Chains A and B, each alone.
Chain A
Amino acid sequence: MSNHAEIGERLASVKHVVLVLSGKGGVGKSSCTVQLALSLVNQGHRVGVLDIDLCGPSIPRMLGVENYQIHQASSGWVPAYVDSDKQLSCMSIAFLLPSKDSSVVWRGPKKNAMIKLFLSDVYWGELDYLLIDTPPGTSDEHLAVVEYLQEWNPDGAVIITTPQAVALADVKKEINFCEKVGLPILGLVENMSGFVCPHCAECTNVFSTGGGEGLAKHLDISFLGRAPIDPNLVMLLEQEDKTLVPNVNDSEAAKEKTASIVETYQRCELSSIFSGIAKQLEETLGESATT
């Protein structure tokens, strides 16, 4: 039980703990976690992102910190800081792997131990939000994180889905999981909802549309918003230099430079949608933006 007390100590300086869940893989949990984090930072908050997807840790690459050399201070493991003001930090197993191609082939008990370590040994300092990115499914990692956090009353979960029925089927299970373990659902985001062709501006519903909103309504869950596919966002999450503003439809244009990914993201069209999502989340949690 002593490790749980350590978790409590770490979380004492964290105002809100929010899990980002799906059930379905590839719907954009990590990219939505990153966008939510960037939006909250832009609104003046101090945010940490904990990546507990041990088999496929995507967050470091998305935030541009994949070359971070992890180290310990006397206060614990130091997370990677994304911006020079240290408003956005990140911890992931990716920082512990000998090479980024190394697979983590662990059964449940070992994964649980790693998650416990992340929760008890990382020095986050004062945070307004700790966002926890999870792998798809309803298994060991999800049970572990809920079990370790339960004593400290996490605020709840944001559920990500894409619109089509195959995704919604898995997401219903994730919602059922939240109900079974007593994790409040803060809202649902419908991601990859439509793609606007850069040639003719016609919107094609590549993965259908409206399914997420329909599900939220049907299950009486707060619908936080709908985000279309934005190739500029994909490019931002992919490119190594996060200070270059992506413009995939005009490769000849001079690339605008910014100070950090926090600023670059504000140039992406999706930032206005996620700004709204972040504000809704804050209202639900009884907070308001500091800017």
Chain B
Amino acid sequence: MPDTIVTGGEIPDNANEHCPGPESEDAGKADGCAGCPNQEICASQASGPDPDLPIIAERLSFVKHKILVLSGKGGVGKSTFTSQLAFALATDSSTEVGVVDVDVCGPSIPKIMGCEREQVHPAGVGWSPVFVQDNLGVMSIAFMLPDEESAVIWRGPKKNGMIKQFLRDVDWSSTADNGTLDYLLFDTPPGTSDEHLSVVQLLRESGITGAVIVTTPQEVALQDVRKEIDFCHKAKVPIIGVVENMSGFVCPGCKGESKIFYPTTGGAQKMCKDLGIPLLGSIPLDPSIGRACDFGSSFLDTCPESPAAKAYLDIITKIKQIVEP
């Protein structure tokens, strides 16, 4: 059955009576661990507090806001939203922005942000991110793959190792002109698994500002998104709010409005009301968005008159207001 998330040294609620603690040397291996629902997880992790956590905290100490973009459901537009948020934040040249793409199996960010063929190189103080603009840096495993068609067939521990390297070894200080990186955005894969657990655990000491959760209106998506919200609660990640993407379609021919992904159970609006979470806004489907992503350009720059562009900007303004009151 589903386990409690082990995010720190604290004893989980569902642990056995004589739990040695998830970070003990005996975690998962002590006699008292037999039968505990978390035993396998504890035994498969290295014991003792992670020595890299303080290093990561140090690396990210000059980052003002760390925002995770999550969903639970695939294909709702997490990467699209992360990239447009990054582009929009970086239009102010005094705002320094970084994007970390932790979708190890399907890293879309480089393509969407127009830096697909780049490679990363180690600099003296760590890896240098790829710069899309002077004030916008990106890190993704895509930059390390020999070719774009190679599958990354990694089990959890190897993925976790890569994510840790991103956080520990990337030197963001080159993006931080004035000694501050204003925003570090994390694009995540769908689900509630290794990558999500790793990011939350690795950022435990340095702190997460919050999560923006992306969904589409239909129940099939909301079902997965409610699980993601449950994950955030379990992992104590603050939720900034929910974005409802692909919310309605405007025909470019006749301008008639129609729905493709029906909000049969009330869409994100009802879900947010039921769960007491802010709805940041709704973005309609515009084929130009997909085209912009395929060509690696900023949709907000290429199609500023689109109703979707206005929706994006309204949501981004709200996020800034919440995060920097």
A-side residues, CB < 8 A to B, are 23-27, 30, 55-56, 58, 61-62, 96-98, 100-111, 113, 135-140, 142-143, 162, 164-166, 169-170, 172-177, 180-181, 195, 197-200, 202, 204-208, 229, 231, 234-235, 237-239, 248
Contact = CB atoms under 8 A, between A and B. Distances in A.
Contacts of A205: 287
B291 A139 contact: no
Interface stretch (B92-100, B126-134, B152-160): B152-160
Contacts of A106: 2-3, 41, 193
Interface string B245-274: 000010111101011111011000000000
A58 B224 contact: yes
Contacts of B72: 55-56, 103
Contacts of B252: 204
B54 interface: no
B226 A105 contact: no
A109 B40 contact: yes
B189 A103 contact: no
Contacts of B294: 164-166, 208
Interface stretch (B143-151, B178-186, B204-212): B143-151
A61 B151 contact: no
Nearest to B191: A55
Contacts of A143: 153, 155
Interface in B191-227: 191-194, 196-197, 218-220, 223-224, 226-227
Given A56-B72, A103-B227, A197-B253, 16 more contacts: A23-B151, A24-B74, A25-B75, A26-B76, A55-B192, A61-B219, A61-B223, A106-B3, A106-B193, A135-B190, A166-B293, A172-B149, A176-B150, A197-B254, A200-B251, A248-B262
A254 to B, nearest CB: 19
B217 to A, nearest CB: 10
Q: Max chain A CB contacts within 10 Å: which of B72, B75, B151, B157?
A: B151
Nearest to A108: B156
Given A55-B192, A231-B260, A235-B264, A206 B105 contact: no
Contacts of B149: 172-173, 175-176
B226 A199 contact: no
Given A25-B75, A139-B105, A173-B150, A202 B41 contact: no
9 nearest A-B pairs in the assembled complex, by CB-CB distance: A26-B75, A25-B74, A199-B256, A108-B156, A55-B191, A137-B105, A56-B224, A200-B254, A103-B227
Given A55-B224, A56-B72, A97-B2, A202 B253 contact: yes
A139 B230 contact: no
Contacts of B194: 107-108, 139-140
B191 to A, nearest CB: 4
Contacts of B259: 231, 248
A199 B258 contact: yes
Nearest to A206: B287
A172 B148 contact: yes
A44 B188 CA distance: 42
Given A56-B73, A231-B259, A169 B253 contact: no
18 contacts: A25-B73, A25-B106, A26-B74, A55-B227, A58-B224, A101-B229, A101-B230, A102-B227, A103-B192, A136-B189, A137-B105, A138-B151, A139-B153, A164-B290, A166-B79, A197-B258, A231-B260, A248-B262
Contacts of B91: none
B112 A166 contact: yes
A206 B262 contact: no
A170 B108 contact: yes
A239 B2 contact: no
Given A56-B74, A173-B151, A101 B256 contact: no
Contacts of B123: none
A208 B218 contact: no
B193 A206 contact: no
Given A176-B150, A204-B252, A110 B106 contact: no
Given A105-B5, A200-B254, A180 B151 contact: yes
Nearest to A200: B254
Contacts of B290: 164, 166, 206-208
B23 interface: no
Given A25-B106, A166-B293, A231-B262, A200 B256 contact: yes
Nearest to B37: A110
Interface string B264-301: 11000000000000000000010100110110000000
Nearest to B198: A107
B250 to A, nearest CB: 9
Given A56-B74, A169-B148, A23 B105 contact: yes
B318 interface: no
Nearest to B45: A107
Nearest to B145: A173
B234 interface: yes
A198 B189 contact: no
Contacts of A237: 220
Q: Max chain B CB contacts within 10 Å: which of A173, A174, A176?
A: A173
Contacts of A58: 220, 223-224
Contacts of B230: 101-103
